[in-house]
Structure 1
């Protein structure tokens, strides 16, 4: 491909704007955007200087004939637009979760493979600077053979945030879809992409949430929490997804002879005491990264003590020059994706293969059928 690849965006919220800027940063041309609400769509298209805008996805595909589509809507709204885009021969960049179920994700994976289009799955915090640093250190033997990983986070989200897609399994909500997807991708990228075994349990601590009109941008939902939660006229929606989870996994990788044990522990509604963190342990040391997605300071334990390490130049020189950790990771993945479409050599990146696998894993964890009743023992 010698000309700029063209991109059609689905979604006008935080992710839609972020994807548009990421593809521009990767050298693509954003030619259209599709959204549900005409007034919001018009504002976003004008703000981002996107020439085509529409509310009908199938019509937009026909009108724009893009090389790439970027799916930046909640997960429950991914299936039909992706299926239509694949049928039209478009390459597909999709934010997580891939779809609302493992079965639909597998279907889309197989359709994309049969059509011969490229796909990218944006479980993209594997491109956080300190995660890239950890990956290089592990590959260089800085901790010996990896033995275990722990990913611990507590978000203390407000229980009264307005009811929306994040409360609904059918719409792609839940903390597994929107937190675990990233941490699983991080652990796999550092110690080994082959996932051998999984077990876990989930809990819905939320129950219900107030229904409030006018929430459009996910990042601004806190501004819509009702001032009077005892108002008798207030309507409530019922959550049917997990807000906390505990997952254990075993990963196989090139740097360890035995499977690497991984613990994923997340509490969406509970406060943290110490920092959220990701730690990689090995036979000769450990790597600690501050932050729930590994975007903070990296420290190395060499067997005698901890040392904070600066980012090496070979990593800082590859980082997109943008603000925001989420945006920076979108830019990184979009750059890899566009380069691959152009026929350039790139490192492996997450595709619908990973997206479909992760969605099936989430289905398994949500079954929470790993328990043994002790009262049944003799």
Structure 2
């Protein structure tokens, strides 16, 4: 057996703790964790039985000597820790977005290539069971040649959520960074990952959010929504990122002669009427998956000319980690593949900094919002 790999975690919130559990599930040792606030990182380390806890990333790299670093902080804080880790010789597992810009993401990808370290990019909902099922069906020709994909989601997020990293471009915020990255990865895994063309429109329909102290965990931010939004003493921060987007891409597929048209439609602040969904349309049928990240039931339209619920194949059910929660389940899947690859085992291709840098450059293009044709 290969010796256990040592992992150092950056980030103490939901993602940091989730990454730690995922790597433990993959058989690695979590030897340290780094956060911004000593009291918080000490509390998390104690709760999770992580031996080393601190606030200095460079010191942790030296003292913990990790084989892998796992980056689980907001995207705007990724660049320096990843650069230092690569230069130290660590393999890097990074949550999305990779950084806050296409240029810095491309730089880190090239640096990893030069230093010969492996990377994983955790746009990881491509490992949801129904997405894996759709991938298998498309490869088997169940819908003929794919021609079109539709990804629709409406989150109805509270406008009063306290101002934080998700409101700021420079911190890795925005719905493209934190929603589009997942759906793009899902589509790429099913129909093919060669992006040929893109056009898009973004909109900041939030404007501002209340500034509230004490929010340390992304998942509990709703608990800090002020009760009195008319309080004159309340301070407000200005959003500078998109909360809604519409993106159309053409993607080359090994299963189709012509490019596949893909629509990504997301409204972060508006309510849904029917369920969010992802649909793959082909020349002979279609696949419908409930849920914005394809985590719900899969239905197939084929020769019967009706939508029919499909059971999850046994091979996929056996491959999916037996973990509660779709986010955690997908992290476990990717961490397992990453660890196996580092240890020299053969694995299927998984998203790396190549995809992370491409996605970040694509987001920069979409955010220019300059695709309109003015009419006389």
TM-score (norm 1): 0.99
1:39 deviates by: 1.1
SS at match of 1:346: coil
SS at match of 2:169: coil
Q: Give the distance between the partners of 1:210 and 1:368, measured in 2 at CA.
A: 27
Q: Give the distance between the partners of 1:300 and 1:13, measured in 2 at CA.
A: 38
- The Cα offsets for residues 168-190 of structure 1, whole Å up to 9 and x where unpaired, read as 00000000000000000001100
1:253 deviates by: 1.4
Counterpart of 1:203 in structure 2 is 203
User: Unaligned stretches of 5+ in structure 2?
Assistant: none
Q: Give the distance between the partners of 2:312 and 2:266, measured in 1 at CA.
A: 27
Counterpart of 1:321 in structure 2 is 322
User: Unaligned stretches of 5+ in structure 1?
Assistant: none
Counterpart of 1:45 in structure 2 is 45
Counterpart of 1:238 in structure 2 is 238
- The Cα offsets for residues 126-160 of structure 1, whole Å up to 9 and x where unpaired, read as 00000000000000011000000000000000000
Counterpart of 2:76 in structure 1 is 76
SS at match of 1:374: coil
Counterpart of 2:125 in structure 1 is 125
Q: Give the distance between the partners of 1:264 and 1:193, measured in 2 at CA.
A: 15
SS at match of 2:157: coil
1:330 deviates by: 0.3
TM-score (norm 2): 0.99
Equivalent runs, 1:61-210 vs 2, <5 Å: 61-210=61-210
Q: Give the distance between the partners of 2:333 and 2:360, measured in 1 at CA.
A: 23
- The Cα offsets for residues 255-284 of structure 1, whole Å up to 9 and x where unpaired, read as 101000000000000000111000000000
Q: Give the distance between the partners of 2:166 and 2:205, measured in 1 at CA.
A: 13
Q: What RMSD, in angstroms, separates the aligned Cα atoms of the two structures?
A: 0.6
Could you list the structure 1 runs, at least 4 aligned residues long, displaced by more than 2 angstroms after superposition: none
Q: Give the distance between the partners of 1:210 and 1:152, measured in 2 at CA.
A: 29
Counterpart of 2:355 in structure 1 is 354
Q: Say yes or no: does 1:368 pair with 2:369.
A: yes
- The Cα offsets for residues 175-226 of structure 1, whole Å up to 9 and x where unpaired, read as 0000000000001100011111111010001100000011111011001000
1:2 deviates by: 2.2
Q: Give the distance between the partners of 2:152 and 2:74, measured in 1 at CA.
A: 25
Q: Give the distance between the partners of 1:181 and 1:2, measured in 2 at CA.
A: 33
Q: Give the distance between the partners of 2:252 and 2:262, measured in 1 at CA.
A: 11
Q: Give the distance between the partners of 2:40 and 2:323, measured in 1 at CA.
A: 25
SS at match of 2:319: coil
Q: Give the distance between the partners of 1:15 and 1:215, measured in 2 at CA.
A: 15
